[in-house]
Amino acid sequence: MNSGIDLQGTFIQSLSDLGISAELAKVLWMPFPMLLMIIGATVGVLVNVWLERKISAAVQQRIGPEFAGPLGVLQPVADGLKLVFKEDITPANADPYLFTIGPILVVMPVFISYLIVPFGQNLVITNVNTGVFLWIAFSSVVPIGLLMSGYASNNKYSLIGGLRAAAQSISYEIPLALSVLAIVLMSNSLSTIDIVEQQSGYGILSWNVWRQPVGFVIFWISALAECERLPFDLPEAEEELVAGYQTEYSGMKFALFYIASYVNLVLSALLVAILYLGGWSSPIPIEVLSNLIGVDPATSWVQVVDASLGIGMTVLKAYFLVFLAIITRWTVPRVRIDQLLNLGWKFLLPIALANLLITAALKLAFPTAFGG
């Protein structure tokens, strides 16, 4: 397994050659991946919003945004600008501090979770060895923000929306964590890099979907529920709760909720791609391809192609899942709150537990196929 391109190493090396101490060079390097990630996540959201509007339109035999830029690609930018310039209203009887902190608390953990999303062998901000666990931990902070904004709005719809959101994320976190645990059992590591590496041996055949089909479905359902996507969008069910915890928000604070929900969707899709669909590895391994055309996989241009292919693959897989989520949105009607909790506690949780136990048993029985 070659290590691929090491941008950080090269950067530090070149700065050290200029006479700057290695430590300072590392400090100088740090902001780049972070900025890149924030920009990447934001652009991901813009693409996502555009896709959502276009695909929704196509499903309903409409055209969708058309005049803002070619095919309406600038529409999300226009939306964002509109939200920035809107008046920022704080209701008279709302709690101004909590009202402001709430949306920030919702956005922050989601963006921080991008720390652990790898786009290639070395294309990750930090390869922390708690990896996916860190993501689960951070996503559990979000309901506090929702509760806070629901409470601070001083509006019964907001409060009910916030409470529902918190109940929903708490109940779906458990099956989510259990299905991640099954993956971790197989790859012996919480690190996302190791998880992808472990499924990159035989191209598409070694992806975790084939070994964890049940886990895949559970993870996807729970991820949709965590993102409050349509079959599970009760916290903001228009017909009952106006807009749930966002009812009283406007302008930039509302935009924060909006961004958070879409960033969360992209993040969940990326994580499904990483955990179950082989992350950055392409369906046919790049080594096989390069050997096929008779090039040494260690040549520099193959490495560049490999790296860009890795990014492309990750993004492609993630957006395929986003597409699935959008189609699901227009197919499945919203569930009721009791059905939602029933599904979480009485269906997904036992199945996720059984899946975990079976995975452990299979790992003991066939160590070669299930986590070597």
Partner 1 sequence: MLKFLKQVIDYGKETAQAAKYIGQGLAVTFDHMQRRPVTVQYPYEKLIPSERFRGRIHFEFDKCISCEVCVRVCPINLPVVDYEFDKASKKKKLNSYSIDFGVCIFCGNCVEYCPTNCLSMTEEYELSTFDRHELNYDSVALGRLPTKVTDDPMVTALRTMAYLPKGVMSPRDLPAGAQRANSNE
Partner 2 sequence: MQIAEGVQLVTFGILSVLMLGAALGVVLFANIVYSAFLLGGVFISMAGIYILLNADFVSAAQILVYVGAVNVLILFAIMLVNKREDFKPLKNNWIRQGTTALVCAGLFTLLSTVSLVTPWAISTTTIPLASSIVPLAKHFFTDFLLPFELASILLLMSMVGAIILARRDFLPDSVGTSTPDSLTLPERPRELVGK
List residues near partner 2 by CB under 8 A: 23-24, 27, 98, 128-130, 133-134, 136-138, 140-141, 143-144, 147-148, 150-151, 159, 162-163, 166-167, 170, 173, 190
| CA–CA gap between residue 215 and residue 209 (Å, rounded) | 8
The distance of closest approach from Cβ of residue 173 to partner 2 in the complex, given in angstroms and rounded to an integer, is 7
Residue 178 near which of partner 1, partner 2, none (CB within 5-8 Å, type-dependent): none
The distance of closest approach from Cβ of residue 58 to partner 1 in the complex, given in angstroms and rounded to an integer, is 5
The phi, psi pair for 117, rounded to 5°, reads -85, 115
**By CB under 8 A, residue 55 contacts partner 1:** yes
| Alpha-helix runs per DSSP H in the chain | 7-17, 22-29, 31-59, 75-85, 96-112, 131-139, 142-152, 156-187, 192-198, 208-211, 213-226, 238-241, 251-276, 286-292, 300-331, 337-342, 349-365
| CA–CA gap between residue 145 and residue 148 (Å, rounded) | 5
Return the amino acid letter for 61.
Q
Residue range at the interface with partner 1 (CB under 8 A); choices 36-44, 55-63, 238-246, 307-315: 55-63
Residue 60 near which of partner 2, partner 1, none (CB within 5-8 Å, type-dependent): partner 1
Residue 331 near which of partner 2, partner 1, none (CB within 5-8 Å, type-dependent): partner 1
Residue 24 near which of partner 2, partner 1, none (CB within 5-8 Å, type-dependent): partner 2
Contact criterion met (CB below 8 Å) for 215 and 179: yes
Residues 6+ apart with CB under 8 A from 180: 132, 133, 136, 219, 275
Q: Exposure string (b/e) for 245-255, b if CB count within 10 Å is 16 or more?
A: bbbbbeeebbb
Closer by beta carbon to partner 1, 59 or else 353? 59
Closer by beta carbon to partner 2, 140 or else 250? 140
The distance of closest approach from Cβ of residue 200 to partner 1 in the complex, given in angstroms and rounded to an integer, is 29
Residue range at the interface with partner 1 (CB under 8 A); choices 51-59, 125-133, 177-185, 296-304: 51-59
Closer by beta carbon to partner 2, 174 or else 289? 174
Residue 111 near which of partner 1, partner 2, none (CB within 5-8 Å, type-dependent): none
**How many other C-beta atoms are found inside a 10 Å radius of the C-beta of residue 19?**
6
The distance of closest approach from Cβ of residue 310 to partner 2 in the complex, given in angstroms and rounded to an integer, is 25
Q: Within 13 Å and on the Cβ side, how many CA atoms surround 173?
A: 18
Residue 347 near which of partner 1, partner 2, none (CB within 5-8 Å, type-dependent): partner 1
234 DSSP 8-state letter: G
Return the amino acid letter for 274.
I
Structure tokens at 276: 């179950």
Residue 163 near which of partner 2, partner 1, none (CB within 5-8 Å, type-dependent): partner 2
Return the amino acid letter for 142.
V
The distance of closest approach from Cβ of residue 314 to partner 1 in the complex, given in angstroms and rounded to an integer, is 24
Within positions 57 to 116, which residues make up the interface with partner 1, using CB under 8 A?
Answer: 57-63
Residue 55 near which of partner 2, partner 1, none (CB within 5-8 Å, type-dependent): partner 1
The distance of closest approach from Cβ of residue 61 to partner 1 in the complex, given in angstroms and rounded to an integer, is 5
Closer by beta carbon to partner 1, 156 or else 346? 346
CA–CA distances in Å: residue 363 to residues 116, 187, 188: 26, 10, 11
The distance of closest approach from Cβ of residue 49 to partner 2 in the complex, given in angstroms and rounded to an integer, is 28
Residues 6+ apart with CB under 8 A from 337: 164, 234
The distance of closest approach from Cβ of residue 138 to partner 1 in the complex, given in angstroms and rounded to an integer, is 30
Within positions 325 to 354, which residues make up the interface with partner 1, using CB under 8 A?
Answer: 327-328, 330-332, 347
CA–CA distances in Å: residue 187 to residues 82, 224, 361: 46, 24, 15
The distance of closest approach from Cβ of residue 69 to partner 1 in the complex, given in angstroms and rounded to an integer, is 17
Residue 143 near which of partner 1, partner 2, none (CB within 5-8 Å, type-dependent): partner 2
Residues 6+ apart with CB under 8 A from 83: 251, 252, 254, 255, 258
Catalog residues that contact partner 1 under the rule CB under 8 A: 55, 57-63, 327-328, 330-332, 347
